[in-house]
């Protein structure tokens, strides 16, 4: 056999091998799945984390609204009643952790020139309540002289499980809601009138 014939045979074998390799599609689906599945898994986990975050944000808003509404319903309240209202938050947040929720309920009264704190109550030792008599800034024209508001300020530090591996900072959800007293112009706390 001459070198030319050997070379033709080698070319035919190589050509046949590459033709079979290109036309063989039996393992392509499994290779594609192996390449795409980590991205799909990350996308799925990210969507789940996003939905949990949106649920936590919605619950923080609902709890803030409920707290302000319950306080605004009665002309007289006590620290024990407020503590009871704040204790229900753990039931409303289930299955999510209640510890990151910080909330302040503040009764703000308007006089001729300014708005001031009548009383303030918080559910956390990490957050200080406002001092009685301190000036409280409200949006303009939200309150007329002699009127009052219950202001609920809440903050929740949400830590997504997956993204905490990459980003160490929590996502902060904040709410600030206003409720007018329903049955009186002011709300008395523990006998302390405004």
pLDDT in tens, 49-98: 889 999 999 999 999 999 999 999 999 989 899 999 999 888 998 898 88
pLDDT one-digit tens code per residue, 134-172: 888 888 788 888 889 999 999 999 888 777 777 788 889
Ramachandran angles phi, psi of 71, nearest 5°: -70, -40
How high is the pLDDT of residue 19? 67
Q: How far is CA 42 from CA 31, 45, 48, in A?
A: 18, 5, 10
How high is the pLDDT of residue 166? 73
How high is the pLDDT of residue 18? 65
- Whether omega before 159 lies within 30 degrees of 0, making that bond cis, reads no
| Residues 136 and 94 sit within 8 Å (Cβ to Cβ) | no
Nearest of 83, 126, 88 to residue 105 by alpha carbon: 83
User: What is the average per-residue pLDDT within 12-39?
Assistant: 73
Which tokens in the block code for residue 130? Answer: 């406002």
Q: With 0-12 CB in 10 A as exposed, 13-18 as middle and 19+ as buried, what is 147?
A: middle
Whether 192 shows a pLDDT value over 90: the answer reads no
Average pLDDT value for the chain: 85
pLDDT above 70 as % of the chain: 89
Nearest of 62, 80, 127, 82 to residue 100 by alpha carbon: 127
């Amino acid at each position: 056999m001459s070198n030319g014939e050997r070379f033709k045979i080698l070319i035919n074998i190589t050509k046949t091998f590459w033709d079979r390799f290109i036309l063989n599609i039996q393992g392509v689906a499994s290779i594609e799945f192996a390449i795409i599945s980590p991205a799909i898994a990350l996308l799925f986990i990210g969507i789940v984390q996003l939905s949990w975050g949106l649920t936590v944000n919605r619950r923080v808003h609902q709890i803030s609204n409920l707290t302000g509404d319950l306080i605004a319903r009665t002309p007289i309240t006590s620290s024990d009643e407020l503590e009871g209202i704040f204790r229900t938050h753990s039931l409303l947040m289930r299955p999510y952790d209640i510890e990151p929720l910080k909330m302040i309920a503040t009764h703000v009264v308007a006089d001729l020139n300014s708005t001031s704190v009548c009383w303030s109550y918080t559910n956390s030792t990490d957050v200080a309540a406002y001092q009685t008599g301190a000036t409280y800034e409200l949006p303009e024209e939200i309150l007329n002289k002699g009127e009052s508001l219950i202001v609920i300020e809440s903050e929740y530090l949400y830590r997504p499980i997956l993204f905490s591996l990459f980003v160490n900072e929590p996502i902060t959800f904040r709410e600030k809601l206003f409720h007018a007293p329903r049955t009186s112009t002011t709300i008395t706390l523990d006998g302390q009138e405004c």
